Chains A and B, each alone.
Chain A
Amino acid sequence: MSALLFEEPLKKVTAEVQEYVRMLGQTYRGLVRGPYYRHDIVDQFDAIGVQSMTVVLLTGFFTGAVLALQSGQTLDQFGARPVVGRLVSASMVKELGPVLTGLMLSGRIGSGIAAELGSMMVTDQINALRALGTDPIRKLVVPRILAGFFMAPVLTVIADFVGILGGWIVARFQLQVSSGVYWSSILQGLYMQDIWMGIIKPFVLGFVIVSIACHVGLRTKGGTQGVGRSTTNSVVAGSVAVIAVDFFITRILFSVLY
């Protein structure tokens, strides 16, 4: 009885994973062998990278600021207020920068991609592309995955920087820590391994967010209701994947880098 209960959901999950892996295989073939749609690649770098700047700047800045505010109180208990910069920078660069940027991208980019591709599915535009001799993977998925893969690290570095900047403003004007102490504690506390970890993670997270969104979008069925469902699924799956993948990469990078 219990086996039967799990049979259908298991079949569905297996089919989804199979289709996702198949899409990744087709994407790989599209990456190594043309045709390449250069205009679409440039457009997606703009849509995913440049147009996500505002949300990433705001998120990074306020996260750094609130981190300094909260940790300043706690550090006071140990008389360690001057090392607030070290705490902010380590947290932002290693963990909060990549994860929060990933979550923001999942909300902004993941939902957008799933809704756009989902609408194209239910209005036969994807079939029209195929009928006109265009491979939708090469035309729609490859440019988005390239943009997600390369722009997520750029956005993360920007989020890290403005986060540290936000922390400095709080440290300087609220916690009364001098600028020199704040910035020197950052330089002393940040190691090369931390920077590598902060750079490598967003490559993987960008790829995961966009590939999930493309997969969900291209599997859309059921008219406008289906598009809504796909958009929600993309954000939920993308956000959970960001947190889960972050844990596993952190574990791997710890054993490789440190």
Chain B
Amino acid sequence: MLQAPEEPVIKFEHVRLSFDDNVVLKDVSFTLPRGHTKLILGASGSGKSTILKIITGLLRADSGAVIVNGHRVDQMSEQEMMPVRADLGMIFQEGALFDSLTVRENVGYKLYEESAMPIDEAHRRVEEVLGFVGMAEFIDRMPSALSGGQRRRVAIARSMAFKPGVLLYDEATTGLDPITATTINEEVVKLRDLEEVSSIVVTHQLRDAFFVADNMARRNHDGSVEILEAPPSKQDEACFLMLREGVIVFEGNAAALRASNDPYIRNFLS
């Protein structure tokens, strides 16, 4: 199905999901326009990661509609989901790298195993994306020999190797020191602004969410990449969405979130 450029890449309409008596998402609706960023905040267990799993078809909503690139994914079988996933990259909590494969094999997994790309071209693409995330020298290492931050960066490289239009970050900076977390946040910003990737960032780290919303990446004439403060119009392309017990309690830009008087949000921000 061809999609009009103005159509949102992801659309949730009254989505509900429960596991037995535990209602994870009650009535969630939002849209992600192309090239924009959605920052999903919330306490642990509020249903943030569940949203990403529903988008990729790893979980199926009980009711409501989930539309990804014009496809109604909540009604698709596992086999029908495979072409839709070709445009979705997901960075899992802790990276979820394949233990038995090297960094090169992890990053190029989809190119080597699930595409007809010539091997030399796949090698070049793997080296290119590892260079993009600053991990080129670790190409032949095993995941067990990497630190937590390095694993996340390899996971980002793996998810971008096949050039998806949408990247989903599931707590990509949780458990990392502030310096490493900033490195990851810069990768998120670079991918969004230089590779024109639409993103959903799930996190409970406010500092990281505001960093992604407030900054932008720019490539200079000499090829170097600079991270600088984004103008207000660019900042508006990053929309915050706060979940509380499976319900959206806030949706708006960074300025509106900071200005909110809602006691729960104030408490969360403090």
Contact = CB atoms under 8 A, between A and B. Distances in A.
B110 A124 contact: no
A127 B114 contact: no
B96 A123 contact: yes
Nearest to A132: B110
Interface string B84-121: 01101110111011110000000001100110000000
A127 B110 contact: no
A182 to B, nearest CB: 47
B50 interface: no
Contacts of A135: 78-79, 82
A180 interface: no
Contact of A133 (B82, B92, B97, B158): B82
B78 A128 contact: no
A128 B93 CA distance: 11
A134 B93 contact: no
Contacts of A74: none
Contact of B114 (A119, A124, A132): A132
A37 B112 CA distance: 11
Interface in A106-138: 119, 123-125, 127-135
A134 B96 contact: no
A134 B98 CA distance: 13
Contacts of A35: 114
B98 A125 contact: yes
B232 to A, nearest CB: 34
Given A131-B56, A132-B109, A125 B86 contact: no
Contacts of A133: 82, 85-86, 110, 114
Contacts, number: 52
B78 A131 contact: no
B255 interface: no
Contacts of B58: 127, 130-131
B14 interface: no
B125 interface: no
Contacts of B85: 130-133
A3 B89 CA distance: 48
B53 interface: yes
Contact of B92 (A119, A128, A139): A128
Interface residues of A, number: 16
B94 A124 contact: yes
A130 B82 CA distance: 8
A128 B113 contact: no
B92 A134 contact: no
A128 B114 contact: no
Contacts of A127: 53, 58, 92, 96
A128 to B, nearest CB: 4
A127 B90 CA distance: 10
Which of A35, A125, A131 has the most chain B CB within a 10 Å cutoff?
A: A131
Interface string B65-94: 000000000000011001001101110111
B92 A124 contact: yes
Contact of A134 (B56, B90, B94, B113): B113
B21 to A, nearest CB: 15
B113 A124 contact: no
Nearest to B82: A133
Interface string A1-37: 0000000000000000000000000000000000101
12 contacts: A35-B114, A119-B99, A124-B92, A127-B96, A128-B92, A128-B98, A130-B56, A130-B78, A130-B85, A131-B56, A133-B85, A135-B79
Interface of B: 53, 56-58, 78-79, 82, 85-86, 88-90, 92-94, 96-99, 109-110, 113-114, 158
Given A130-B56, A132-B109, A139-B113, 14 more contacts: A35-B114, A123-B94, A123-B96, A123-B99, A124-B93, A125-B96, A127-B58, A127-B96, A128-B92, A130-B58, A131-B85, A132-B158, A133-B86, A133-B110
